[in-house]
Structure 1
């Protein structure tokens, strides 16, 4: 029996002056090995943005993290981007409408880091471009010039609530932290289900009638098979995707 398909939109990467569509393998590996679904990468670019074609084959969607940021104009911020090079217009043009379609069609969607921010923006929320410059907020950026295990290592606790708390079975977990942007105003359809000690929203879920619309600010895909909280979240995502696939309602 074939595994259900999880679409992962790509990032735009320029390597030696050539443009590539790319996704970190840790995301597709977590989908394949923990969620037990088949990852399928969706390329970017105007000629390839066929939303209908993607939705015809998608049983679920994963929005990955990225070094790029959501453009501030997309959430009504009247200030220029802090770093013009840290933008990905083509990804924005695919992921934001894809979120809205996933909500409307009740298609399982799991959003991570940049994807978490895209989820909030697509549904009408706003972001802070640089959380570390906001009064009362901590610095949530990763350490620089350290081994990858240290960059993605445990950084700070988050307090859990609601559905996420019931899934994990704990009031608090320790997560990694590798981001500049963060939620400023939460989109109305979303509910916050985890907070950092400085009050920053770290996890959200969609309406209760949606089979799986969930996002986290941290990176659960990093060494996902070795983290009990990551296993729980990815397995529940996979279960929701399989349920939709088996019902014949996908796309």
Structure 2
């Protein structure tokens, strides 16, 4: 029991969906497994429109880290001053995720944002998105009818900034082969984010918050079979290490 109590508590934002006709909150187990295998305790965070700010203020003091997962839904365009409507949205998640980011960053709480999560990080810090990435030499979105192993297989390389924090975190790596399951991406990262990696077509693949102990966003899915990928394992280990440190300092 003591060992569990010493592990950092990581909040993971859920997605609203419909399961067998019932409204439900869902979250792929792979995110939770990656946290727990790296010696963290994961707690799923549901939401409700109109209560995001209040929920965030209630749960953040309990947490030692925050993970923003991927999702089939897209952020509502009005939140980054775009027009039009998305086919699949999750307003409650938008509200909670953006509130969590805004409140967690000044606390220097460790944050790992994946796929939609990275887009939330950009929007929360004043950035904008491509609602649909331009069609070019790289296909950033795969056939959703393909087997999962094919959907999550590496599809293209990314180049890490040689002097960037992500390259340092990954022990000097300057390029990676990554999977790619996103139709949207960061257009302008805004004033608070530093670009850490890009695809050959210029699409932003990773960002960080400068002068923050650990706040990274990645566009790919490192949680997919993380045990079999060195960079993914290192990313989650570094995230949980930062959460451990945050927990220790919070208790002083």
TM-score, normalised on structure 1? 0.92
**Does 1:75 find its partner at 2:45?**
no
Structure possessing the higher relative contact order (Cα contacts under 8 Å, 6 or more residues apart)? 1
Give secondary structure in 1 for the equivalent of 2:79.
helix
**Does 1:172 find its partner at 2:175?**
yes
Unaligned runs of 5+ in 2: none
The within-5 A match list for 1:10-89 is 10-34=14-38, 36-46=39-49, 49=52, 50-77=55-82, 79-81=83-85, 83-84=86-87, 86-89=88-91
Of 178, 187, 191, the residue aligned with 1:188 is 191
The within-5 A match list for 1:150-169 is 150-161=150-161, 162-168=164-170, 169=172
Q: After TM superposition, give the deviation of residue 47 of structure 1 in Å.
A: 7.6
Q: Which moved more, 1:11-20 or 1:61-70?
A: 11-20
Unaligned runs of 5+ in 1: none
Asked whether the equivalents of residues 44 and 94 of structure 1 are also in contact (C-alpha less than 8 Å), the reply is yes
Instruction: State the number of aligned residues.
Output: 243
TM-score, normalised on structure 2? 0.92
Q: After TM superposition, give the deviation of residue 15 of structure 1 in Å.
A: 1.4
Cα distance between partner residues in 2 of 1:18 and 1:74: 28
Residue equivalent to 2:9: 5
Asked whether the equivalents of residues 179 and 221 of structure 2 are also in contact (C-alpha less than 8 Å), the reply is yes
Q: Which moved more, 1:41-50 or 1:54-63?
A: 41-50
Cα distance between partner residues in 2 of 1:58 and 1:67: 25
Cα distance between partner residues in 1 of 2:49 and 2:174: 44
Deviations 1:8-29 (A, max 9, x none): 0110011122111111101111
Cα distance between partner residues in 2 of 1:59 and 1:132: 38
Cα distance between partner residues in 2 of 1:132 and 1:12: 28
Please list every run of at least 4 consecutive aligned residues from structure 1 whose deviation after the TM superposition is greater than 3 angstroms. 46-49
Asked whether the equivalents of residues 152 and 178 of structure 1 are also in contact (C-alpha less than 8 Å), the reply is yes
Deviations 1:116-143 (A, max 9, x none): 000000000000011035xx67431122
Asked whether the equivalents of residues 138 and 156 of structure 2 are also in contact (C-alpha less than 8 Å), the reply is no
Asked whether the equivalents of residues 154 and 175 of structure 1 are also in contact (C-alpha less than 8 Å), the reply is yes
Asked whether the equivalents of residues 131 and 138 of structure 1 are also in contact (C-alpha less than 8 Å), the reply is no
Give secondary structure in 2 for the equivalent of 1:32.
helix
Deviations 1:168-188 (A, max 9, x none): 222111000000110000121
The 1:105/1:76 distance shift into structure 2, 3 A limit, reads same
